[in-house]
Structure formats: C-alpha cells, structure tokens
Amino acid sequence: MQHSDICIAGAGIIGLSLALELHHRGARITVLEQAMPLGEASTAAAGMLAAADPDNPPALRPLSDLSISLYPSYLTRLRDLSGLEVPLHTSRALQALPEHMAETSAVLSADALRQILPQLTPGNRRFVLLDEHSLDPRQLATALLAAVRATTIELRTQTKFLSAKSSGDAVEIQTAAGTVHASQFVDCTGAWSTQTAPKKGQMLAVALPASLPLATVVRTPDIYIVPRAAGPKPTRAIIGATVEDAGFDKTVHPADIARLKAQATSLLPQLADATLLESWAGLRPVTADHLPLLGATPSRTNHFIAAGHYRNGILLAPATAHVMAQLLTGETPAISLSPYSPSRVL
C-alpha cells in the first residue's frame, strides 16, 4: 500500500507551489490532478502581481506583501530546478482609483500622467503610479511544471479526487483511479473545491500597434491592459476581464470580447486598430468575502485547505506555499492566518 506524507488535490499554481515547498522541506508528496496540470485559472490569469490594487480586500494585504517579498526566491528555485527563467514583463502600473476612494497626494497631475503615458485618455479618472510587476502565467506554468518534474514529487494527472476521510493518524483519499493513503491531505482544487465557487473571466490578447509602445500596466476598477514583452519591446497586450457567475461554463462570447476591447480603447485610443490574437475564459475560485481559505479544515483531522484565491492566485502562490508548508510541518506561520481561517465558512 502506497503512503505519502502529504497528498495534495489540485495541480494548479497553488497545489504545485505548495508541493515544491513541502518537497524542499523533505516531505514525500503526491499530487492528484483531475485533468492536466496548470490547465485552468493558473494559465488563464493576466499575471499582475497587484498587491496594492485598491479593489483587493484590505485583509489580503499581509499575505500579498509576504508573497511579493518571496517572489524572487520562488522564481530562483523554479529556475534552479527547471533551468527556465521566468521574466518579469512590466515593473509599474497606472491604477485608476475607485470613485469612492478619498483623494490622496499620490494622485498624478495631468502633466505627470502625460509624461508617463502620453497615449492615455484618463477622462475624469484619478490615476496613481504603482511599483508593481507582472509576469506571463504561461511562462510561469512551464517553469513550475518542469521544476516539479525535476523532483521526486509524484504527480498523477487524469486522476480525479473524490473524497478524503480521516482515520487515526492518516487520511484515506479516494480518487477515480484508486485509494491514496497519506499522513495529511490538502485541498488545492481551486474553483473545484466544495468550499469555493467559480467566477468566470473572459479576456483577450491583442497585437500592440507601433503607435502604442506600451510598457506600463493600465488598470481601472473595470478593465486592465497588461503589456507583454516578448523581446526588448512589448508586442502584445492582455485585456481583461469579465467577472461572471456562469458555473463551469468557459464559453467565450465575441460580444463580450468586443466590449472589453472597446473599454480598453476608451483609455488607449490606439488600441482601436489592434489585431485580436486570442481570446479565452478562466474560472477564478471565489469565496463570499474574496479572501482565500488557508488552514486546517475544522473537525477533520489532518485535513487542510488552500483555495479561494479569486483574482490573485499568481500573486499569492509563493506566500500560500510558504505559510501552508509552515502549518503542515508544525511551524508558526510567518503571518497571522486568522483572516483566512477556513472556520469562517466551514
């Protein structure tokens, strides 16, 4: 009978980042994935490390800040294991403040805004400039999967997690392809967790016209435009995203894509001529308060959850892996996890 120290359900960015962190600490890990690794929200994301987005719940900030501080070592570990560098594509973001937010001294004057991005038509929006990086989640996924495959982590694809039952010091995990025994179990199934719901996001990629050499993320409460630099110059931009309750439906509707592009064009008129390269939809795992669930599942021994990262899974992966690994190995987590306690919903 096979026995792992820790069995993780879900091979998205959260599950695989946690697997790597636990492996680094010497644990034997099995990861169960119902389809293909990193095939859902992890690669649908825009990749903004938006720790200071004013639309994030304030209680997300300590976890976000911890993640930002861990990102360099996280990427170094991926590079050391995979041989693949994950480049940062942008290093600043123009953020429009939500209407309800009070005026701050950081709000840019029209002149300052023109100097940063002359093509922007801000309307009556108030913009601030954030030190914020972005990366391409597809490049991150390639490096993360190669890193995992360079270790002894057992990754079982096409193996759907069905249930986990605590018995004594162990957990018995039922899958569509048999039983796994482990000392501890972690639910990292994202939008497929019974404790979260899917929130659909449709988005698109466009080729940037030569008249718009965009190197800065532009974000309002309704829309974001994220340039991707394939070489020294940005050549494409990601535009997103809808926020919809549509169950597990990932249909892309041309009318929604056209509306997103029109919204982006109202900010950057040069996008009117931008060629559509791709469009897709992803399913964000959401909770009622938009905060993740991190910790032990109440009244289920050796059973944990790390899910519900909603719009910030890419940002929060390193910190989630770090604090969950601390929790699973009996250390005190680096930050208080009480705002993220699963007992608030379970």
* Alpha carbons within 13 A on the beta-carbon side of 238: 26
> Closest-CB residue for ligand GLY?
311
Measured from the CB atom, the residue of 29 and 46 that comes closer to ligand GLY is: 46
Give the C-alpha distances (Å, rounded to integers) separating 210 from 53, 170, 235: 29, 59, 9
260 binds ligand GLY (CB under 6 A): no
Tell whether residue 201 is a contact of ligand GLY (CB under 6 A).
yes
* Whole-number Å distance between alpha carbons of 36 and 26: 25
| Contact between 46 and ligand GLY per CB under 6 A | yes
Q: Indicate whether 241 belongs to the interface with ligand GLY (CB under 6 A).
A: yes
Q: Least separation, in Å, of the C-beta of 119 and ligand GLY?
A: 23
Interface with ligand GLY, residue 45, by CB under 6 A = yes
Alpha helical stretches, state H, the chain: 13-24, 41-44, 61-82, 110-116, 137-149, 254-267, 313-328
State which residue, 198 or 201, has the beta carbon closest to ligand GLY.
201
Q: Does residue 309 touch ligand GLY according to CB under 6 A? A: no
Residues 6+ apart with CB under 8 A from 101: 54
Beta strands in the chain (DSSP E): 3-9, 29-32, 88-96, 127-135, 154-156, 161-167, 170-175, 178-187, 197-207, 217-219, 224-229, 234-240, 276-286, 293-296, 303-307
Minimum Å gap between C-beta 125 and ligand GLY is 19
Q: Is 311 in the site for ligand GLY (CB under 6 A)?
A: yes
| Nearest distance, CB of residue 187 and ligand GLY, angstroms | 21
Total residues interacting with ligand GLY, rule: CB under 6 A: 7
The CB-of-285 to ligand GLY minimum distance in angstroms stands at: 11
- 47 dihedral zone (left: phi>0; alpha: psi -120 to 50; beta): left
Site string for ligand GLY, 58-77 (x = CB under 6 A): --------------------
Residues that bind ligand GLY (CB under 6 A): 45-46, 201, 240-241, 284, 311
